[in-house]
Amino acid sequence: MSHAKSTWDKTEKIRNKINTDALTWWFGKNHNTPDWEQTVTGPFDRWPTGMGFDYFYGFNSGETHQYYPVLFENTVPVEPDKTPEEGYHLMTDMTDRAIARMKFAKSVAPGKPFFMYFAPGAMHAPHHVTAEWRQQFDGAFDMGWEEYRNQVFAKQLEMGILPEGTELTPRPDWVPAWDTLSDVQKEVYDDLMENFAGYFAFTDHEVGRLLSAVKELPDADNTMVIYIVGDNGASSEGGPDGTLNEIMNLNGIPSNLEDIKANIDKLGGPESEPHYPVGWAWAGNTPFQWVKQVASHLGGTRNPMVISWPAKIQHDDAPRTAFLHLVDVVPTILEAAHIPMPQSVNGVEQKPLEGESFLSSFTDPEFKGRTQQYFEVFSNRSMYADGWKANAQHTFPWRQDYAPGNWDKDKWELYNLDEDFSEANDLAAENPEKLEELKAMLDEAFEKYGVLPLDDRGSARLAIAKPPVPGAVEGNKTFTYYAGAIRIAEPAAPPMKNRSWTLTAKVDTEGAGTEGVIMGFGGVAAGMSLYLDAGVPIFDYNLFEKHTEVKGSEPLPEGEAEITLDFAYQGAEGEAGKGAEITLSVNGTEVATGSMESTVAGRFGIDTFGIGEDSGQPVTSAYQPPFKFTGGIESVVVEVQ
């Protein structure tokens, strides 16, 4: 009897602990899982559900198509329940699901707390939004980026967002004066910015729906909302002219202004991957210098943060000015929830947290924040200490025409943020001792936190061979797939760029009565697809929306057939992006040939590789995804050289 009572007591303690543990949910962007681990074989320890979250609904890479997202629910690939034509957009989808899960949980267990990480793809590229939202901003930016900055700066001062005495930094030489632009440039740049603004307004609307739902919860007053706005500064990755195909730009190929104008009717829609030009990114960082990736300056790092916690925080109109870093958020949440940082998890000793709690700032307007912090992206680097900040700008996000590795030739700048909020007045010449002191501190921080060696490569990183899929054969050159092998991230797929390869598909068809994708790789921006249309085999290579089609002349015979696609790369070893000769054969007989002057050197983009369907974005507009294969697929073998 006593033993039974003891067991009951232990069970009750476990049950009570479970009942008070927080639910943990992750919606949206997860840019933590290595590409080569994003398959059905895992491992899953670096997926959200392997990092402490009960539930995940989102995408694993740095960005995704908002109309054709690469979605996973926990670790299972899923597809949207609507098409873009039916009104699908990822931002609405994940907001709906987040609200539903939150309400469902509170219906079942209203006393159980939750932690929700909600990370939209917005405002990251691609900038996808309907014409309805974009048209609200028709003509709103005709004044140009300099005057826009002036207006924003005046508003920031009026609202008290900027300290009195803040200076507006001048236009740099890498942004042309608006009045020097042609009419075509102004028209295209305006359109791209209006599209971005519509995307912003739409995102704000969806986040507003989520916050409204939070306010309806029974314990809303005791719910903390941490709202961090931005992505390390506005992005200039669209290049000088902006783009309708940002994946092409990320591969180091600049957009052509006339091509953008000729296809502007696609702007914001499923067939576009839009990004605005450098000048609007500069304006988006008012009053600072520089842009995203340029972590040397505040324009590439500083983001606003708003925190609401009605039960603990009394609103006032003055913004808090403490210097904080993203690593400070977790310690703050732990302190607020009275949860100690664990010394070990599942027997693995944990590194100490590198951030510091800023919980006391909720009640103390004089809270100063951290005294030191380093920054580094692509060798753009900076050191902050006690109000002083040393900066070295090294690379440009929109071009790679610099001498890689010449870090000793970078110009160093020095600012006193206590007196110069916007980094407008360089004090390096006046105070060389302070500059050298901060540079020495930066060297120490880089050693301590494992930043070295510095790596200033940009698009060149895309062409670097990635580790094989865990469990794959090292050095394998033959890859065999079966129907249903889908949602394989690009680095986990066969290495089919900058080399020759042969694909052999063994299929079973009803001749002209069979259609669908046999192999799909990539999507709207770039990719390739082997498919049947009324039984006729077709290979389509999408080179940043320039399509090379190799098409048979008649349907496959009924029954079993073998399709062979020989892709003979014309570049020498080490040469990237060269052309190719393509041969399509059926049952050993050549049925079509084609050639390309160039191919994709880096990445097809943000979509995936799959067999039996083209899930996500379509490689070609000749069909609607997923365009599943209606016949049988015995195997698809890819042999690479």
**What residues form DSSP beta bridges with 640?**
501
| Helices 90-108 and 183-215, axial angle in degrees (round to 10) | 10
| Residue 285 contacts residue 162 (beta carbons within 8 Å) | no
Tokens, residue 128: 């996808």
β partners of residue 389: 384, 415
- Delimit the domains of the chain by residue range: 372-461, 478-640
Nearby residues of 170 by Cβ (< 8 Å), 6 or more positions away: none
How many angstroms separate the Cα of 254 from the Cα of each of 257, 260, 321, 596?
A: 9, 11, 39, 19
> What is the C-alpha separation between 32 and 36, in angstroms, rounded?
12
| Confidence (pLDDT) at 401 | 54
Give the pLDDT means over successive 10-residue stretches in the chain (641 positions).
Answer: 42 41 95 91 94 95 95 95 95 98 96 96 96 97 98 96 96 98 98 98 98 96 95 93 93 90 96 97 98 97 95 89 95 95 91 94 92 96 98 88 79 97 98 98 97 87 76 88 94 94 98 98 97 98 97 97 98 94 98 97 92 96 96 98 91
* pLDDT score for 166: 98
3 state DSSP class of 258: helix
Phi, psi of 444 (to 5 degrees): -65, -45
pLDDT value of position 399: 76
For tokens 């000048």, name the residue.
279
pLDDT at 426: 98
Residue 295 near residue 381, CB atoms below 8 Å: yes
What pLDDT does residue 564 have?
98
CATH of domain 478-640: 2.60.120.200
Tokens of 96: 């709906």
Torsion of CA 64, 68, 70, 72, to 10 degrees: 120
| Cβ pair 47, 60 in contact under 8 A | yes
Nearest partner of 383 among 323, 304, 328, judged by Cα: 323
Q: Give the CATH class of 372-461.
A: alpha beta
- Do the beta carbons of residue 187 and residue 277 sit within 8 Å? no
Residue 13, classified by CB atoms within 10 Å of its CB into exposed (0-12), middle (13-18) or buried (19+), is: exposed
Q: Which residue reads 């519509």 in tokens?
A: 198
Q: Tell me what pLDDT residue 474 has.
A: 80
397 in Cβ contact with 294 (< 8 Å): yes
Specify whether the CB–CB gap between 503 and 530 falls below 8 A.
yes
Q: How far apart are CA 548 and CA 596, in angstroms?
A: 7
Query: Is-contact 530 519, C-beta < 8 A?
Result: yes
What residues form DSSP beta bridges with 561?
A: 507
Instruction: Name the β-bridge partners of 509.
Output: 559
Q: What is the H or E stretch that residue 158 is in?
A: helix 145-159
Q: Which has the closest alpha carbon to 227: 305, 149, 303?
A: 305
